[in-house]
Structure 1
């Protein structure tokens, strides 16, 4: 069985493929697409935060509340952007269909 760090790194490739297809399709609401790309910011922040937690506290990131919360805030922003993007698309679709 692969270590969790290896699985985490390998999971990036399918996600990049997902982003490529979403972008190429041209059908994804812009704000939602920005949210999906913002998830990469979450990943980019989480990795150094995890290293910092291990080096300075000798703990996993999940055990350092202030650091974990700060990193997770990027995930929250990403999710909000995706939800607002699709909400906006639904509202626009309803306006054009009525």
Structure 2
């Protein structure tokens, strides 16, 4: 069995859950440091809403359609809207703080 085949057999769910811990640590530091524009910080925090909605949408896709979330366009697109909102909040937060002004 090749390494690539072995990696393909790994369930990524555990890695997804583990990835939340560094992100939560980043959010904790960002809120405590008060060095980040407030709107951008809310945008980074809103990413957790996107994660939650994505999990709910993935479960719904499986239960209702028997498919992965990526294969159910309305649910996938609906979940991605929350990532777009998060990204816009981060962008507007840093923009309003004068970061990257020419």
Q: Fold match, TM over 0.5?
A: yes
Q: CA deviation at 1:12?
A: 0.5
Q: CA deviation at 1:31?
A: 0.2
Aligned to 2:82: 74
Q: CA deviation at 1:3?
A: 1.7
**Structure 1 length normalisation: TM-score?**
0.89
Mapped to 1, the partners of 2:76 and 2:22 lie a distance apart of 25
Q: CA deviation at 1:74?
A: 0.1
Bigger shift: residues 37-46 or 2-11? 2-11
SS of the residue 1:27 aligns to: coil
Mapped to 2, the partners of 1:34 and 1:48 lie a distance apart of 21
Q: CA deviation at 1:72?
A: 0.4
Aligned to 1:20: 28
- The gaps in structure 1 that reach 5 residues or longer are none
Q: Give aligned pairs, total.
A: 92
Deviations 1:70-92 (A, max 9, x none): 0000000000000000000116x
RMSD value over aligned CA atoms?
A: 1.3
**Structure 2 length normalisation: TM-score?**
0.86
